[in-house]
């Protein structure tokens, strides 16, 4: 077996296709393996709001232009809270991601990858074994149309989703957090839209909902509900979902729109975080981090983690003179650190909120300020779009502005914790966890 490829990527979805395009543009020979045979296959369990943080990656792959041609919505959002609407200014020239159904996105991205020189898309290939030499991953083996295959490369990338085969076979360290909510969603056509096609996100404490306009006059509406209400939805899904949507503040008028899909969803969706790199392999997208679908970060982070990996490892992966995997493994360690730095604090807060608990003090303080003040609304939206760090979100001048618009400040205890002080004996474990994520 010779190394016909520099990189093997397992999974030709959002993360895998993005990584394949970016690696090939750097001169790498890429095998892009996908267990599904149909290049038009798409992920059903997704509401496909792609955050603005991924815009630079989409621009780098050319996906931005391809999405605009198929009518993807340049997205933005309003947020309902008990203090009223948070309405960031919707500047058409401002930062945005895209809202586009997976049935449109997945085939488009896969064809973009397959059409990139240097990418060999191998549909209908299921990986079920890692080739390991001296403790280092050096390739994969599996089955294609009932025939065995094996491939070697300098790097194996697991872009194979939340139940990643590569992660399981490599024994990647995994942390799981329970999700206190379940979600159901459906698609509607002909629904009256907000000006500028803004999505609506509802914080109903503890439940959530969102209404997101997509291409072709289609809108997806999701009910993200505390598991305390699961029996109600199980007893009569149609009735419970419909009543839930009708009861939203300024509810979308679903009775004057056509529902064009079944109600689909998932009742148990734990959050999964894995060490994103080991000797000879890396994980990107959901394989590395499956965050809460409610935060709508999965597609953006799949693209961004692909870019972080490629930017760290492409030179080592394409170096034909490299005798050992040492340079690749050093690059993978840098990628692992970058992944943790970029996603860690955000995911920490998302995972804590997934408990379906009431708002904590910082959430009350920042959400109410954003509902009261246009500047804080823009700040809130930029944070939700994952375009700023947790530290920037709660920078001292921002906390001062929030105090001004709220007419009160944070408690001394919270301020001391934000400053990184260990406040002994204060609060329970869950609260301490949140402060770990935001401590400066």
Ligand X SMILES: Cc1cc2nc3c(=O)[nH]c(=O)nc-3n(C[C@H](O)[C@H](O)[C@H](O)COP(=O)(O)OP(=O)(O)OC[C@H]3O[C@@H](n4cnc5c(N)ncnc54)[C@H](O)[C@@H]3O)c2cc1C
- Secondary element (H or E) of residue 30: strand 30-34
**406: enclosing H helix or E strand:** helix 396-406
According to CB under 6 A, which one of 161, 206, 213, 325 is a site residue for ligand X? 161
Residues 83-122: x where in contact with ligand X by CB under 6 A, - otherwise, as a string? ----------------------------------------
Among 5, 13, 104, 370, interactor with ligand X by CB under 6 A:
13
As beta bridge partners, residue 157 has: 9, 282
| Binder among 3, 25, 26, 36 for ligand X (CB under 6 A) | 36
Residue (16 or 278) nearer to ligand X, CB: 16
Size of the site for ligand X (CB under 6 A): 37
Question: Interface mask (CB under 6 A) for ligand X, residues 216-245, using x and -?
Answer: ------------------------------
Answer yes or no whether residue 199 interacts with ligand X by CB under 6 A.
Answer: no
Q: Rule CB under 6 A: choose which of 72, 156, 225, 302 binds ligand X.
A: 302
Helix (H/G/I), strand (E/B), else coil: 363: helix
Residues numbered 250 to 289 that lie near ligand X (CB under 6 A) are: 266, 269, 285-287
Q: Does 292 bind ligand X (CB under 6 A)?
A: no
Number of CB atoms found within 10 A of residue 250's CB:
12
Candidates 313, 319, 308; CA nearest to 332 is 313
Q: How many alpha carbons lie under 13 Å from residue 204 in its C-beta half-sphere?
A: 21
Quote the distance between the C-alpha of residue 82 and its chain's center: 26
47 scored as a contact of ligand X (CB under 6 A): yes
Minimum CB separation of residue 98 from ligand X in Å reads 10
Distance CA 345, CA 212 (A): 26
Q: Which is nearer to ligand X, 161 or 373 (CB)?
A: 161
Distance, CA of 403 to CA of 398 (rounded, Å): 9
Question: How far, in Å, are 138, 180, 183, 280, 298 from residue 268 at the CA level?
Answer: 35, 8, 9, 32, 17
**What is the three-class DSSP state of 420?**
coil
Nearest to 81 by CA among 246, 253, 223, 248: 248
Q: Please pick, from the candidates 3, 26, 126, 242, the single residue that binds ligand X as defined by CB under 6 A.
A: 126
Q: How far is the CB of 210 from ligand X (least distance, A)?
A: 8
- Give the one residue of 43, 227, 334, 357 binding ligand X; rule: CB under 6 A: 43
Task: Give least dist CB 374 to ligand X, A.
Answer: 26
Residues at the contact surface with ligand X, assessed by CB under 6 A:
10-16, 33-36, 43, 45-50, 126-127, 159-161, 165, 183, 266, 269, 285-287, 293, 296-300, 302
């Amino acid at each position: 077996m010779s190394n016909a490829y520099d990189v093997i990527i397992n999974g030709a979805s959002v993360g895998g296709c993005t990584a394949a395009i970016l690696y090939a543009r750097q001169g790498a020979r890429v095998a892009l393996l996908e267990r599904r045979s149909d290049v038009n296959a798409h992920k059903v369990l997704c509401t496909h709001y792609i955050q603005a943080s991924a815009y630079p990656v989409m621009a780098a792959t050319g996906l931005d232009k391809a999405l605009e041609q198929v009518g993807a919505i340049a997205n933005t959002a309003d947020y309902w809270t008990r203090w009223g609407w948070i309405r960031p200014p919707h500047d058409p020239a401002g930062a945005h991601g895209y809202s586009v159904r997976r049935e449109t996105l997945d085939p488009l991205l896969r064809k973009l990858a397959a059409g990139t020189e240097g990418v060999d898309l191998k549909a209908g290939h299921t990986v079920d074994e890692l080739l390991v030499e001296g403790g280092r991953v050096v390739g994969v083996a599996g089955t294609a149309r009932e025939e065995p295959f094996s491939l070697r490369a300098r790097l194996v990338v697991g872009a194979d989703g939340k139940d990643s085969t590569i992660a399981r076979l490599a024994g990647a360290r995994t942390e799981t957090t329970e999700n206190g909510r379940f979600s159901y969603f459906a698609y509607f056509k002909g629904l009256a839209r907000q000006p500028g096609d803004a999505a609506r996100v509802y914080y109903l404490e503890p439940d959530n909902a969102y209404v997101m306009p997509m291409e072709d006059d289609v809108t997806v509406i999701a009910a993200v509900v505390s598991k305390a209400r699961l029996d109600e939805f199980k007893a009569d899904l149609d009735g419970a979902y419909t009543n839930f949507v009708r009861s939203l503040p300024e509810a979308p008028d679903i009775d004057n729109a056509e529902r064009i899909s079944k109600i689909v969803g998932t009742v148990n969706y734990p959050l999964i975080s894995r060490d994103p790199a080991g000797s000879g392999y890396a994980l990107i997208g959901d394989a590395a981090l499956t965050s809460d679908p409610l935060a709508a970060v999965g597609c953006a982070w799949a693209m961004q983690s692909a870019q972080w990996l490629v930017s760290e490892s492409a030179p080592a992966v394409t170096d034909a003179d490299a005798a050992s995997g040492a340079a690749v493994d050093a690059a993978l360690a840098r990628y692992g650190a970058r992944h943790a730095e970029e996603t860690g604090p955000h995911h920490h807060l998302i995972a804590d909120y997934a408990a379906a608990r009431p708002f904590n003090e910082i959430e009350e303080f920042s959400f109410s300020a954003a509902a009261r003040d246009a500047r804080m609304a823009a700040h809130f939206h930029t944070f939700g779009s994952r375009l700023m760090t947790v530290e920037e979100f709660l920078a001292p001048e921002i906390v001062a502005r929030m105090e001004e618009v709220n007419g009160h400040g944070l408690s001394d205890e919270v301020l001391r914790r934000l400053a990184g002080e260990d406040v002994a004996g204060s609060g329970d474990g869950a609260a301490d966890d949140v402060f770990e994520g935001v401590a400066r």
